[in-house]
Structure 1
Amino acid sequence: MFEEFYCLKHTPFSRDIPTEHLYRSSMLEEILGRLEYAARRQLFAVVTGDCGTGKTTTIRSFKNSLNNSRYMVMYLADSKLTPRHFYKGLLEQLGCEAKFYRGDAKRQLHREIELMQGIHHLQPVVILDEAHLLDKEMLEEVRFLLNFRMDSKSPMALILVGQNELWDRLKLQSYAAIRQRIDLQCKLNHLDRSQVGEYVKNHLTYAGAEHDIFSDNALDEIFKFSAGAARMVNKVCTHCLIYGAQNGKRIIDDHMVKLVIQGELN
């Protein structure tokens, strides 16, 4: 509804914005560079960040940046993931029916990966999302999976993605064996005030806005409310655009942002 009022061609703060139009902060560029290096060298990486800071968006950008003729990306996101279902999920994505027993399925996965690398010249990249919800047994299985040819070679690039509590767990002594295998750690931080302004402008430009819709003072209030979490920026901006369109306001100021926050988001 507000798209027509503000003469927008696209919805500016939706989850399905093409990755090439997403706001690319210096932090995101650095993390994508690290993940692309991890894929190229078949490393074990961990990506953490607070809720709403753009972890899934980062992984989507990373996946789309990889050359499909060189990499096979396998993605799993299951809070109840067990080792057996882990192997089953990966083998299904490779077009195979997993063997029942964990050890058999693990050997089967290693064989399929060797065929993928040797015949199709594809490098496997495994992404485990919501990894902060995985139990210790599953995290230990990740360590065992990376034991390949007496530690001389990693069978895949493996990327764990989760909230900050994942790294807090991995720092515990009981997880030392897993932590020592991690090659790269990437941490997503909140956007600062300047970046929030750039973020909003970038998304409105993608949507086709020909002029600024949010005043500088409005952006101050959006930053204060969102604390720089991209998901919350999206939420408050969308609510403000709906409110502005319904009330015939071409420019959204700080007073309107406060009204929306107090009336709809608190």
Structure 2
Amino acid sequence: MYESFFEMEHTPFARDIPVERLYTSPQTEDALGRLVYVVDHQMFAVVTANPGRGKSTMVRMLDGRLGKEKRLLLCLSDSKLTPRWLYAGLLGQLGLEPRYFSGDSKRLLQKEIQTVSAEQKKKVVCALDEARLLGKDMLEELRFLLNYRFDSISPMSLALVGQTELWERKLKLQAYEAIRQRIDMNIALGRLDRAETGKYVASHMAYAGAGKEIFASGAEDEVYKMSAGIPRMINRVCEKALMYARQQQKRLVDERMVRFVADHEMLGGVG
């Protein structure tokens, strides 16, 4: 592949880049800071963005920021959760077997969270990724889970992570008012601008161990234009451009190469 051709140590635009090596834009840093605040104050947050803008990556980053000695992150990614599978998934991450009835599993989870808080002195946060398709009953279940003791302090913090429609087509509706009133923080992720796109590309190339310039400035302009600043699309455009440059035996990616792969090899638009 192109890695050896460009004398890279790692694949620059892979999905498994360590979180400490990922580029964080100012808006990402702001969002992470707000999420840490949510965890420390046992609050309820909603994180939304259009596809490809880094929602799931942010959950990975959050795990790295929290510090496992004081906070415990439980993470589920399932757009069609039921109460039974919610409690089974969370209890499994805590090393416990779920009960046959979901109500019993809920009580076991609540008890374990109290134990983690009181004995281990850890704050518990649950992050539910792909939350846009959660039904009203499931969202109500989450609301009761947060407020089961009917006091001002929740036993845990919760972050719902999903596409923009989670907020626009669901939580904003009158039918969800009781849930919406419970939300403490609404975080929306946008696109990267041109300068941030350049820094994103440079950061990933540095992780790969590229010792010399590979993307010309004009190429980065085209990457931004073709990707509209959406991280997933930046990855796709850059990956295709590097492959094409390798095929052409060119060690510098220019704007013409980026335009070529965008016109001939990209199967989907930026959205």
- Do the two structures share a fold, i.e. TM-score over 0.5? yes
1:1-266 maps to which residues of 2 (within 5 A)? 1-168=1-168, 169-266=170-267
Distance 1:237 1:120 in 2: 45
* Structure 1 residues 212-240: Cα deviation after superposition (integer angstroms, max 9, x where no partner): 21122211221121111100100110111
Amino acid at match of 1:42: Q
Distance 1:265 1:92 in 2: 40
Contact 1:43 1:157 in 2 (8 A): yes
Amino acid at match of 1:202: S
Amino acid at match of 2:7: C
Distance 1:215 1:61 in 2: 29
Contact 1:139 1:178 in 2 (8 A): yes
Distance 2:240 2:44 in 1: 39
| Equivalenced residues, count | 266
- The root-mean-square deviation of aligned C-alpha atoms, in Å, is 1.1
Deviation at 1:178, TM superposition (A): 0.5
Distance 1:165 1:151 in 2: 31
Distance 1:152 1:52 in 2: 36
Deviation at 1:65, TM superposition (A): 1.2
* Structure 1 residues 167-187: Cα deviation after superposition (integer angstroms, max 9, x where no partner): 111111111111111111111
Q: TM-score, normalised by structure 2?
A: 0.95
Amino acid at match of 2:210: A
Distance 1:182 1:212 in 2: 46
Deviation at 1:149, TM superposition (A): 2.2
Contact 2:88 2:97 in 1 (8 A): yes
Distance 2:101 2:145 in 1: 15
* Structure 1 residues 143-167: Cα deviation after superposition (integer angstroms, max 9, x where no partner): 1111132232101011100000011
Distance 1:9 1:96 in 2: 40
Identity %: 51
Distance 1:104 1:152 in 2: 24
Q: Specify every segment of 5 or more residues in structure 2 that has no aligned partner in the other structure, as ranges.
A: none
